[in-house]
Amino acid sequence: MRFGHVELRVADPRQARKFYEDVLGFEVVAEQAEVFIWLKLGEVELLLRPGENVARSPSFDASPSNIVLYTEDLPGAQKRLEERGVRFAGEDQGCPVFADPDGNWFQLVDPEGE
């Protein structure tokens, strides 16, 4: 086996695409029927598909699943995302957390940091 991709339910994939592409820096790989948006960041592919995020949680630690983004420059990455409109909602284990507009939670982590 090998890892395939991650699928996220979003209310409007075309609108969500703007956040993932312009704010987080994902590359758009393909668009199917204008509602299925394939994105890539590094080696991981993400599919934005229409639907309701039924697992939407009010906080990172209450969410049943989270996406972790690695960076070698945690303060710099956080600052760049804030400049692009990301609002951080505190930290978990010393690493900043935020949600996308559809309530999918993310954490920024420096895997080499302490």
User: Which residues have CB under 8 Å from 3's CB, separation 6+?
Assistant: 44
Pairing of strands 27-32, 67-70: unpaired
For the chain, first and last CA: distance in Å?
32
> Are residues 90 and 45 located together in one domain of the fold?
no
> Are residues 2 and 38 located together in one domain of the fold?
yes
> Are residues 68 and 114 located together in one domain of the fold?
yes
Express each pLDDT in 20-64 by its tens digit: 999 999 999 999 998 999 999 999 999 999 998 777 889 999 999
Tally the domains of the chain. 2
> Are residues 64 and 108 located together in one domain of the fold?
yes
**What is the dihedral sign for C-alpha 27, 2, 61, 49?**
positive
> Are residues 43 and 11 located together in one domain of the fold?
yes
> Are residues 94 and 67 located together in one domain of the fold?
yes
> Are residues 40 and 80 located together in one domain of the fold?
no
Residue 67, domain CATH: 3.10.180.10
pLDDT band at 114 (very low <50, low <70, confident <90, very high): low
> Are residues 47 and 95 located together in one domain of the fold?
no
Domain that holds residue 4: 1-51
> Are residues 1 and 44 located together in one domain of the fold?
yes
Q: pTM surpassing 0.85?
A: yes
- The radius of gyration of the chain's CA atoms, rounded to the nearest angstrom, is 14
Contact in structure between 18 and 31 (CB atoms under 8 Å): no
Express each pLDDT in 80-99 by its tens digit: 999 999 999 999 999 999 99
